[in-house]
Amino acid sequence: MFSRAVKIFTLQGFDIRLDPSWLLIATLITWTLSRQYFPQVVEGQPETTYLLMALFAMLAFFGSLILHELAHSVVARFYGVKIKSITLFLFGGVAELEAEPEEASVEFWVALAGPAMSVALAAMFWFLARVGQFAGLGAPITEVLSYLGLINLVLALFNLVPAFPLDGGRVLRAYLWHRSGDVLSATKIAANSGSTFAYVLMALGLLLLFGGQTASGLWQIFIGIFLLLAARSGYEQQLMKTSLRGKTVQSLMSKNPVTCHPDITLSMLVNRIMLVQRSSFVPVVEDGVLLGLVDSHVLSLIDQENWSNTKVGDVFIATDTNNCVPPDMPVQDLLNRITATGQRKYLVAVGHTLLGVVTLSDLLGYINLFNTLHTKERTIWPNARSG
C-alpha cells in the first residue's frame, strides 16, 4: 500500500515508516498552528516562538499517532496477529496488518486499544498543562500541552465513530460478527456505515467551501473520499477472503479448454480458435503432452503478414513455474501471485498433463456470484422463515 514509505526507526519490534505524503500534512499543520491557532490563544509572542510551538506540537501530535497505532499493534501481537509496520501518511497513521483477526473478540480489543491510548495521552497532556500553569512555565508551553490534550481527545472521539474502517467501525463489525457469526455480513454493514459517514464528511466539506472556508472544506472532502475508498476496499477484501476460503485452483478452473497443435500456423490459430472461441490464451498440446501456451502478447510481437508462414511451435511460451500452477494450490495463493506478477492467466497441470486453465476472470466471476448469492440469502431467507 505504501511502496514509497521509508523506515525511520523501530519501536517495540515494529518498523515505523514515513510515507512522502506525510510531509504535506506536516507542513500544513505547522503552518496552520503557527499562523492561526497559536497566535489566537497566546497573543504578543514573536513569530519564531509561534513557529517553535507549532513544530513541537506537530511532532508531538504525530508521536501520539504512532503511540495510537502502536497500541493497536501491541494488542494485535498479543493475540497472534502479525503487523507489517506502522506508517505515517497524508491522512494520519496506520498499523498494517498481515492478516485480519480471525475472531470477533480479537477484532474488538485490537480496535479499542488505539482510542484508549489516545484518551490516556489526552489526560496526560491535560495534566501536564495544569502542572505547567501551576509551576509558572509560561503560556507558550502550557498552550502547546493543552493543544496536544485536545487533539488527542478529538483523535479518540473521531476514531470511535462507528464507521468502518475507523476503530469504531471495527468495534461495530466485531459486535455484529460476534452476534451473527457471519464476518462478511458484519463487514458489509460496517462498511456501509463507513460509506455513509464518508458522504456526510464530503457534504460538510462542500458546505464549508460554499462558506468560504476553502482549506477546511477541501480537507473534509479529501478525508471523506479516503474513508469511502477504504470502506469499499475493506469489504471487497473480506469478500475475497470469505468466498475463496478453502478453495483450490481445481475447484475454479475451466476444464477441457480448447487447445492447439504446435504444427498449425498462427493464422489458423487466430481464425479457427481464438476468434471463434473468443480466447486470447490457448494451451499448446501435442499427443496429450502439454508443451506451453500462446497468447495475444505473443502474436503482437510478430508482424501479421508473417502469421500464415509461422507455426505455433516456433513461437509458443514453454511451460514453467511462471505460467503453470498445480490443481491443489489454494486460490488465495494464486490471487497473491496474480497481484505480485500482474499475470492474469495460468495453465493448470500435473507434470505435462493439462487439467485446465484458470484466469483472473474466473476468480472475479466466482467472487461476484458469491457476493450476489450471499446478499440474496441474507435478504430473502429471513422472509422465507417468517412465512
**Mind telling me the catalytic residues?**
69
Dihedrals φ, ψ of 358, to 5°? Answer: -135, 135
Residue 369 grid coordinates: 456470484
Residues whose CB falls within 8 Å of the CB of residue 15, separated by 6 or more in sequence, listed in order? 7, 84, 85, 86
- How far apart, in whole angstroms, are the C-alpha atoms of residue 94 and residue 65? 9
Q: How far is CA 99 from the centre of its chain?
A: 11
> Sign of the C-alpha dihedral, residues 138, 139, 141, 142?
positive
DSSP reduced 3-state for 322: coil
Answer yes or no: are the C-beta atoms of 74 and 12 closer than 8 Å.
yes
Q: Hey, which residues does 193 pair with through a beta bridge?
A: none
Among 356, 28, 13, residue whose Cα is nearest residue 218? 28
Angstrom CA distances, 307 to 171, 273, 286, 356, stand at: 60, 14, 20, 26
Answer yes or no: are the C-beta atoms of 209 and 217 closer than 8 Å.
yes
**What stretch of H or E contains 130?**
helix 104-135
DSSP reduced 3-state for 242: helix
